């Protein structure tokens, strides 16, 4: 967005996912969803970015109204957004007035301008111990070089979720486009930890305004130290590439389950600073949204509304 002088005063990068919702669905459900053009979502991360503090509220409102227009033009059912954690948060009222639901979040961000030796020495004794121990294992740190590495990342994540008894989105078409659009254009990097040539850990990072953001990760459950090895080497790589920060991309600020507590502890142990931010959600087309929800998980709909009879 520019002002009357042609200067950029606001920006927001968005992605529209049209078929991702049906990635783990039964073939018939996937066919119905795609045929009826259901399930399209618009996502944004770490935005909007406003460059005019005086007129920031007006600029924000215009950007959000433009997002609505884009969403409707592309038959989007739902908008999901995440605010930038490193700046003062936007007034909640602007989002609420435009129909957004807000969910407070927390993330840990590491300042990569500091000396990594100082960062290492500032960590807790047990964290330093596990970093040293992990680097004595037979792991190798690499950057993904080919599309097949993205396939292996997806396979590893799928198998991990399967062990947890959960479904995971799996679509060769989606990840092929991810590689072509994001990886090939320098918007992300897939970082790997290998053992004897086999991928045992992965971190997918996004890049925005000089910051690196952990977008997705997966580690082999049989390799206890692979996550520690990969995270520490990713931090060293990100600093070498002159990124200003590394963002662990969010944890539950009030973790209750064992898994949530584990994620919180893992992000915290690498010495990042806490930042609060918001997750925004807006349903654009309620009829299509509830139809998609019912088609995706009919048992949940029956349980929710059948119990009321």
- Sequence-distant (6+) residues with CB within 8 A of 41 are 16, 17, 20, 21, 76, 77, 78, 79, 80
**Residue carrying structure tokens 């954690």:** 85
pLDDT at 181: 82
**What pLDDT is stored for residue 155 in this prediction?**
82
What is the pLDDT at residue 185? 85
- Residue ranges per domain, the chain? 10-104+279-306, 114-243
Which one, of 198, 222, 204, lies nearest residue 139 by Cα? 198
Cβ-defined contacts of 261-270 (< 8 Å, 24+): 266/227, 267/107, 267/108, 268/108, 269/123, 269/124, 269/127, 270/108, 270/110, 270/123, 270/127, 270/231, 270/232, 270/235
DSSP state of 8: B
CATH number of 10-104+279-306: 3.40.630
Q: State residue 131's pLDDT score.
A: 94
pLDDT in the model for residue 304: 52
Residue 153 to residue 144: CA distance in whole angstroms: 10
10-104+279-306 shares its CATH topology with 114-243: yes
Tokens at 285, concatenated: 């087309």
pTM of the model: 0.84
Adjacent-strand bridge partners of 111: 245
What are the average pLDDT values for consecutive 10-residue runs of the chain, which has 309 residues?
A: 91 84 64 75 92 95 96 94 92 96 94 88 89 94 91 81 66 76 87 93 91 90 91 94 92 86 88 92 91 72 51
Hey, which CATH number is domain 114-243, 1.10.3720.10, 3.40.630.30, 1.10.10.60, 3.40.50.620? 3.40.630.30
């Amino acid at each position: 967005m520019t002002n009357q002088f042609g200067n950029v005063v606001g920006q927001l990068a968005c992605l529209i996912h049209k078929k991702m919702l049906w990635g783990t669905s039964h073939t018939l459900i996937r066919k119905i969803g795609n045929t009826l053009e259901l399930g399209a979502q618009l996502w944004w991360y770490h935005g909007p970015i406003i460059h005019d503090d005086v007129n920031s509220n007006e600029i924000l409102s215009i950007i959000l109204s433009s997002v609505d227009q884009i969403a409707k033009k592309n038959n989007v059912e739902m908008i999901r957004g995440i605010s930038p954690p490193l700046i003062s948060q936007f007034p909640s009222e602007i989002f609420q007035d435009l129909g957004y639901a807000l969910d407070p979040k927390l993330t840990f961000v590491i300042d990569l301008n500091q000396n990594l030796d100082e960062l290492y020495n500032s960590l807790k004794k047990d964290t330093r111990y596990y970093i040293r121990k992990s680097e004595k294992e037979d792991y190798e740190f690499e950057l993904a070089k080919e599309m097949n590495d993205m396939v292996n990342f997806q396979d590893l994540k799928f198998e991990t979720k399967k062990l947890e008894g959960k479904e995971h989105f799996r679509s060769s078409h989606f990840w092929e486009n991810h590689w072509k659009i994001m990886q090939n254009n320098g918007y992300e990097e897939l970082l790997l930890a290998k053992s004897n040539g086999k991928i045992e850990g992965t971190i997918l990072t996004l890049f925005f305004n000089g910051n690196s953001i952990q977008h997705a990760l997966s580690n082999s459950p049989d390799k206890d130290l692979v996550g520690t090895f990969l995270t520490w080497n990713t931090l060293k790589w990100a600093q070498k590439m002159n990124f200003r920060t590394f963002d662990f991309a969010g944890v539950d600020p009030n973790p209750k389950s064992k898994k949530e507590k584990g994620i919180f502890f893992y992000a915290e142990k690498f010495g990042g600073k806490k930042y609060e931010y918001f997750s925004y959600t807006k349903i654009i087309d309620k009829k299509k949204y509830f139809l998609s929800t019912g088609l995706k998980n009919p048992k949940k709909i029956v349980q929710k509304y059948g119990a009321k009879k």
